[in-house]
Amino acid sequence: MEKVEIVLNSLPMSGGDGPNSYSKNSHLQRKTTSLLKETIDKLILEKLDAKTLISGSNTFRIADLGCATGPNTFFLVDDIIKSVETSLRKSNSSKPEFLVYFNDLPENDFNTLFTSLPQDTSYLAVGVPGSFYGRVIPRSSVHIVVTVGATHWLSSVPKEVLDKRSKAWNKGKVHYSNAAKEVVKAYERQFGRDMGKFLEVRAKELVSGGLLVVGMCGIPKGMPFSNLADSVMYTSMAEVLIQMQSQGLITEEQADTFNIPIYSASPEEVTFLVETNGCFTVESMELMNPAAWLKRAVNVEDVRQWMICIKATMGSLFINHFGDHILDVFFDRLTEKLVGLTEKIESSYREKLMLFFALKRK
């Protein structure tokens, strides 16, 4: 398989535990992750033969890939462990030791992650720095691999998008939303390469019968990305950058070469890649509403909170490209622009936009 080039410096969440940090501003992600609790619990109870998996060892191993800085990863891991323990009790098996691998890019703030690790954890914890598009865990050693809110991040911006000679040159935009079809195809191909590599290395790390559980940005097959609320955000981002360029706050070169490496895949795209890989059976593949907890119309405060989370999530991407001096100015302007588009955001498609899938290693 083609080697995947990995951009390591641009994707970690904002570190520390200050007012702008990911650990303090990931509450929307927590709400979305909590929607998966019942689904993951049911999967473990019905699809995972935990008793057989630990028959040759007294250690059950779990990996959270793209764990960031907490606390969401701890809630997720606790829920998984409780489900495994329930499964083992039902089969009259003794309780094993649990070992959890917390993985993220080397630049991730692991100090904040482990400083905030609850004191009363029921497991041993290990930090594993490295991109999940490569091997991060010993071969045939882990029983459950989970990753939520991470695999829509591509390993890099597609090269064609940054090539002025290419039809996919994405001048004036920051994403494939509302872009030329060549740009969309470039992102699509990059996702195919990345997810193909992701599945290849996970197949080496998981034991036979182990589960790979993924939650990521998704989209119904054939739906234009321009229908989504995120499209309003990406279009507004580009407009703010053009304004800042005109004021001399950033250069034209900086504006024209900034693209956000995020791709929303359809279930059909992922299913094809899983079938091509051939090492897994599909136990679940569905689109879910990531904001099912929101039972009313989107309001101005919702937009402001959304942007606080986006800043904590994408801040390092902007700092890496433009420098840290523009971050607050950019997000202040972006927030005010989107506040004025609250009705447009409310009317955008926001239903089936989280792709959840679970695969079992053959």
Closest CA to 286 of 16, 2, 43: 43
Structure tokens at 93: 């098996």
Q: Tokens 């080496």 map to which residue?
A: 204
The pair phi, psi for residue 259, each rounded to 5°, is -140, 145
Ranges of each domain in the chain: 27-361
Element (H, E) at 129: strand 124-129
d(CA 32, CA 215): 10
Work out the mean pLDDT of the chain and round it to a whole number. Answer: 91
Question: What is 27-361's CATH number?
Answer: 3.40.50.150
Helices (H) and strands (E) in the chain, counts: 12, 7
Q: Are 50 and 44 in contact (CB under 8 A)?
A: yes
Q: What is the per-residue pLDDT across 62-80, written as a single tens digit (0 to 9) for each?
A: 999 999 887 889 999 999 9
pLDDT digits (tens, 9 = 90+) for 203-238: 999 999 999 999 999 999 999 999 999 999 999 999
Answer for the pair 38, 292: CB distance below 8 angstroms, yes or no.
no
Lowest average pLDDT, out of 12-16, 59-63, 82-86, 179-183, goes to 12-16
Distance CA 23, CA 42 (A): 28
Whether the Cβ atoms of residue 17 and residue 114 lie closer than 8 Å to each other:
no
